[in-house]
Amino acid sequence: MRRGRLMLAPLLTATSGAAWAAPESLAGAADLPPPPPLPPPPDAAATPATIAVQTQPVSLFIMRPMLDGTRLDQVTAEFNIIELRAIEAGSLERALGNRLPAAQRAELRREAGQFLPVARLQELGIVATYDPSNLTLNLALVPEAVGARIASLAGDEDRPGSRWRRSKGHALFGGLVDWADRVVRNAGRSRLIPARDVAAPALREATAPVETALPLVADTAARDIPPAPPEPPPSGTTLAPASHPVQPLAPSGPRTQRVSRITMHPVLDGNRLALVNAELTVSELRGIEAASLERALGGKLAAAPRAELRREAGQFLPLARLQELGITATYDPANLTITLALAPGAVGPQTFTFTGDVDLGAAARVRPAGLALGVTGNLVGSHDFSDPDGDTRLLYDFAGFVNIGGRETGAYLLFGGLVDLADKAQRRFERDRLVAFKDFEGTALRLAAGDLVAGLPVIAGEADVAGIALERRYDALQPLRNIRPTGRRQFVLERPARIEIYANGALVQALEVNAGPVDLNRIPALSLSTNIAIIVEDATGRREIDSFTLANDIELLGAGISEFNVTAGMMRKPSAGGFAYSATPLLTGQFARGFSDVATAGGHFAVMEDYQNLGVTFATLAPGGALFLGGSASHDVASGDLGYALSLAYRGDPLRLSDLDSQLNVRFDYRTADYRRLSQSLAPDPVKIDMALDYRLSLTERLALSLGGNYLETHAPGPSSLAVFGGVQVSLGRVLASATARYTDIGGRSDRGVLATLTIPLGRNHFSTASYDSVTRQARLEARRVRDITVPEFDYGMIAEHAPLFDRLTGQARFANSRFNLDLEMVGTRAAGGSGMRDQNVVNFRLQSGLAFADGELGIGRNPGRGFVMVDRHPSLKDARVEVETSGVGRRAGQSNALGPAIVSQLSGYRPDNVRVSVLGAPPGYDIGPGEYLSEPGALSGVKLTIGSDAYRSALVTFVLPGGAPVKLADGVVRNLATGETSGVFTNAAGRAVLSKLAEGRYRVELVGGDLVYEFTIDKSAPAIIRMGTQTMEVAP
């Protein structure tokens, strides 16, 4: 035979059991009978290959499996529509790497090129499961592997073909060529030419036939190959005489199913638990070791069955015994999965304590840019067309920030100002506060300097200073940490469910829980006035089970938690506008500490040369709510006045007249005539007694009552003021009706009357409201379109008013998208005769927009002045649009298009926000990346995202050998020759492959450990999907 001719090796197929493909060019090949099939043991289940032929078609996919929450490198797996059938051994060995013991890795390398069914993987200590709903492949490693009986046919490493055994060429051919080579050489070495560079096989005992690809390899002249010595047959096998090269392995007789002990992760309500030790046969679960099961279930199991499991530790409990304990265990041998279920009486209390972390899934996390600037401006104007001499009012106010260094090491600058554009004589500029600050997030400390407000209790007053401040602010730096002890809810679920917790409309936690009692402790908050809603979704649907506010507890701190602030600087003095400061120094401070979960105490001070203010505060739980006490004393040196003030407040529901929403607020303040609150003027406080009460009670879901009053008495001569009210609100379907009666006595003048209101919806997006006040004799009718929740937003309304002194008609319209916001209002007023008023026709408008800058990129947004997320598109997507959605309200928030990147406003500092993107008009097959991101801003940040990349292309190709035969089931890498970066690649049985993540440049495909290569170039103009057709691989020198 001439050098360069090709030979065809034996081929086993999955559909016909065994077939012999012998080319006529091989002398004597026709004399060789085909080897009979290897029979499976009598108790063996049908293999994935045979099942695929009988039922669902089997497809090859390249996936990245998960191991203990970590995504591994790609493997090639066989699937039907809903089931994992097998995983290719070589790719699995590379993905697991050193996570596997040496013995298991050697087994996988030996069987490289073969698709190992899940039962075989379990023998190697690898549990593989597939979730078709989420398209995820999960792996688990067990300490004890089920022993596999292997009949090894490994040959001499120095014989022809050893080079591919030592290389990754073993992954291509699975060893069957050497097996055929031995058959042929035993039949007559003088007539046949041995195949070179083929790995030795490792035949597993009595397995069902699996499709194995074999290549066409280059022949070598017989004279170039020394004769190989006869090889002894492997243990347990018999080689026939030369006239009959192959005899099948002797079929094994009937066997009982062997019981093995294996460590697995059971599944409870879709959640994978910790490892348990189980006794299994090939097809059934026999028992689970008690102690490992108790540890895996933990608090999910009630106390009584947990005690029983601990008592029986070390024993493998059969399924009947587990059933007695309220635990149902089932086993799926096809997917090697143990599934547990708990009876209602066996479910333990489920407690979740939130520490401030947000769970928004596996979205890619994005940190702020190193340099960011955002500024929002408002152009506000008005003109009275009924007054020819009237001036046009035109103001421009702006506010913004600069962030240098990002979140961890960055610093911030706040700025703002106002420009009067209408006054042509003097275009006056008035600056707003200028504040620089640095945050220390871990300790919740903020160091600030500039135009500051001294932080004090309301009873002590407030003042502006130019100075520095150090404060601990959990609400600003750790907004998701609930430091209030009463943010807790308990309830019972009748069935497994998903619990979602929303704070001010934003999803902050999602939990998968079992049926039984649930305890949510320290629910995360966004601010001190957070509205919490708890949503449950189970088999019966989605519903809200609780809603409340954490604002009721803002004076209470958890045990051991402290907050404080200290401010020092020069006090601001009265001025016509802007900021002007005196030479008077001021030092203020405030401190509060939670001494227990039911008691918080603190104090404050303010010290100037001629003024001092000291005080204490105390908060504690009271029946149905919280009680707050405060006291303060002031001393004015110049006048010698010494005064004091007391404050008492209660918030809660002590009467508990309804299981629905009800709230009582009571406040009482008293101040002496000499008490002076901290202010610019330090004038005595005129208020002596200030009392207020309001109570809202929801009797049913349709009927609510409200009542309250206010009493005010001053130190000045004259009557006190009194106001009381009582009302009822009724819901009749979508129609709301309310009536509130009130009585007031202010300055000796009393009024009494009723305010009646009726709200009627007009379709899905419109409503109308009519009201009448019998005290002022004013009637009002309003019709309005509800604002859209996605951009662009558009709403409008009309308001008609009638009063004894005037009639007024107002028209309003608003349009907003992600770039700007425009409000228009037209007001027409007709004065009644003798009222002393004049007619007016006024037009008002407001235009809001801003600029955002992040790491060299500029964009236009509606409100970037308080932080933003910038979503830009890669140049390869220049003809596409990127749609952006946020989780705050689950709406479309912007679009990256010809006007530049999308600018989405930051919801609040240090609160992660989920950002989802979709691309419209991208090239078919374009890889946009994760598609879902978790923005993690600082106090005021610019988070920058770029969707798409240079490596967005994929190529479809069929690889063949020089003789034209396909390169079957080969794995290797695609190497970027410029950067050296590599990605995995695998060919199917027809030689087809997908080359992914390709950018412009030159690449080399390396298969069989680099023995087969193919180089190609990706042009800049190449499409996202490149069809390369059939390409011939070269044999590397």
Give me the mean pLDDT over the 890-914 stretch: 84
pLDDT at 113: 82
pLDDT digits (tens, 9 = 90+) for 104-133: 888 898 888 888 988 888 888 888 887 765
Task: For 237-274, write each residue's pLDDT tens digit.
Answer: 333 333 333 333 334 444 456 677 777 888 887 777 88
Instruction: Give the burial class of 729: count Cβ atoms within 10 A of its Cβ; 0-12 exposed, 13-18 middle, 19 or more buried.
Output: middle
Spell out where 867-970 has E strands.
868-873, 881-886, 891-896, 902-905, 913-920, 932-935, 942-947, 953-960
Stronger pLDDT, 772 or 597, i.e. the higher one: 772
Rg (the chain; Cα; Å): 39
Q: Which of 553, 587, 602 corresponds to the end of one domain? A: 553
Q: Is 179 helix (H, G, I), strand (E, B) or coil?
A: helix
Of 553, 586, 601, the residue at which a domain comes to its end is 553
pLDDT of residue 354: 55
Out of 189-193, 613-617, 761-765, which region has the weakest mean confidence (pLDDT)?
189-193
Does residue 426 form part of some domain?
A: no
Instruction: Convert the pLDDT of each residue in 991-1002 to its tens digit.
Output: 999 898 888 999
Q: Which pLDDT band holds residue 774 (cuts at 50, 70, 90)?
A: very high
Can you tell me the mean pLDDT for 516-532?
57
State yes or no: pLDDT of 25 exceeds 90: no
Same domain, 959 and 1007: yes
pLDDT value of residue 513: 73
* Total tally of structural domains belonging to the chain: 5
d(CA 248, CA 254): 18
Confidence band, pLDDT 50/70/90 cuts, at residue 659 = low
Whether 800 shows a pLDDT value over 50: the answer reads yes
pLDDT digits (tens, 9 = 90+) for 490-510: 666 767 777 877 765 666 677
pLDDT at residue 301 greater than cutoff 90: no
Domain match, 929 and 961 both: no
d(C-alpha 849, C-alpha 907), whole Å: 17
* Residue 563 scores a pLDDT above 90: yes
pLDDT computed for residue 224 by the predictor: 34
Q: Which of 475-489, 651-665, 853-867, 952-966 has the lowest mean pLDDT?
A: 475-489
Distance CA 59, CA 401 (A): 54
| Angstrom distance (rounded) from CA 103 to CA 109 | 10
Among the listed residues 706, 792, 720, the one whose alpha carbon sits nearest the alpha carbon of residue 755: 706
Q: Does 176 lie in the same domain as 27?
A: yes
Asked if 153 and 208 sit in the same domain, the reply is yes
Residues 16 and 136 in one domain: yes
- 282 vs 43: CA distance, rounded Å: 9
Residues 831-887 have pLDDT tens digits of 988 878 888 899 999 999 999 999 999 999 999 999 999 999 988 888 888 888 886
Round to whole Å and give the CA distance between 774 and 778: 7
Task: Provide the token pair at 475.
Answer: 């609400």
d(CA 759, CA 729): 11
Specify the pLDDT at position 178. Answer: 44
* Helix, strand, or coil (residue 480): coil
Is 714 contained in some domain? no
Is residue 175 scored above 60 in pLDDT? no
Cα atoms in the Cβ-side hemisphere of radius 13 Å centred on 858: 3
Res 23: pLDDT: 32
- Using one digit for the tens of pLDDT, what is the confidence trace for 1013-1033? 999 999 988 888 889 999 999
Whether 936 and 970 share a structural domain: no
b/e per residue 388-413 (b: at least 16 CB within 10 A): eeeeebbbbbbbbbbbebbbeebebb
Structural domain includes residue 335: yes
For residue 438, what are the β-bridge partners?
Answer: 447
Share the mean pLDDT of the chain.
77
Amino acid present at 7: M
Report the pLDDT value the prediction gives residue 361, as an integer from 0 to 100.
Answer: 53
The reply to whether 297 falls in a domain is yes
CATH code for position 499 = 2.60.40.3110
B/e letters for 1-26, b = 16+ CB within 10 Å, e = fewer, are eeeeebbbbbbbebeeebebebeeeb
pLDDT of residue 252: 41
User: Which SS3 state, helix, strand or coil, does residue 889 take?
Assistant: coil
Q: What's residue 222's pLDDT?
A: 32
- Residues 939, 957: one domain? no
With cut-offs at 50, 70 and 90, classify the pLDDT of residue 1037. confident
Q: Which residues contact 416 (CB under 8 A, 6 or more apart)?
A: 397, 398, 399, 400, 431, 432, 433
Q: 1003 and 881: one domain?
A: no
Whether residue 91 is found in the same domain as residue 216: yes
Share of the chain above pLDDT 90, in %: 34
How confident is the model over 673-714, as pLDDT tens digits? Answer: 999 999 888 888 889 999 999 998 888 888 999 999 999 999
Percent of the chain whose predicted confidence (pLDDT) is above 70: 74
Question: CB neighbours (10 Å) of residue 243?
Answer: 10
Q: Is 747 contained in some domain?
A: no
Residue 654 located in a structural domain:
no
Residues 748-775: what's their mean pLDDT? 90
Q: What is the CATH number of the domain that holds 341?
A: 3.10.20
Q: Are both 175 and 311 inside the same structural domain?
A: no
Q: Give the range among 125-134, 235-244, 758-767, 788-797 with minimum mean pLDDT.
A: 235-244
**Residue 308 pLDDT > 50, yes or no?**
yes
**Cis check: omega of the bond before 232, within 30 degrees of 0:** no
CATH assignment of the domain containing 1012: 2.60.40.10
Residues 228 and 160 sit within 8 Å (Cβ to Cβ): yes
Question: Rounded to the nearest 5 degrees, what angle is found at the Cα of 674, between the Cα atoms of 670 and 675?
Answer: 50
- Kind and range of the H or E element at 587? strand 581-596
Closest to 113 measured CA to CA, from 179, 57, 66: 179
Q: Is residue 861 part of a domain?
A: no
On whether both 69 and 191 belong to a single domain, the answer is yes
CA distances from 1013 to 196, 1022, 1037 (A): 18, 22, 10
For the stretch 548-562, pLDDT in tens is: 554 444 578 888 889
Predicted confidence (pLDDT) at residue 163 exceeds the cutoff of 60: no
Residue 461 lies in a domain: no
Query: Rounded distance, CA 343 to CA 798, Å?
Result: 59
Reference 854, options 871, 834, 836; nearest CA is 871
pLDDT at residue 226, rounded to an integer:
38
User: What's the confidence (pLDDT) of residue 256?
Assistant: 56
Check pLDDT > 90 for residue 34: no
One domain for residues 909 and 1009: no
Q: Which of 320, 348, 376 is the last residue of a domain?
A: 348
Task: Give the pLDDT confidence score for residue 587 in this predicted structure.
Answer: 96
Hey, which of 390-394, 455-459, 856-860, 885-889 has the most confident mean pLDDT? Answer: 856-860
Range of the domain at 44: 6-220
How confident is residue 907, by pLDDT bands cut at 50, 70 and 90? Answer: confident
Output the pLDDT for position 727: 95
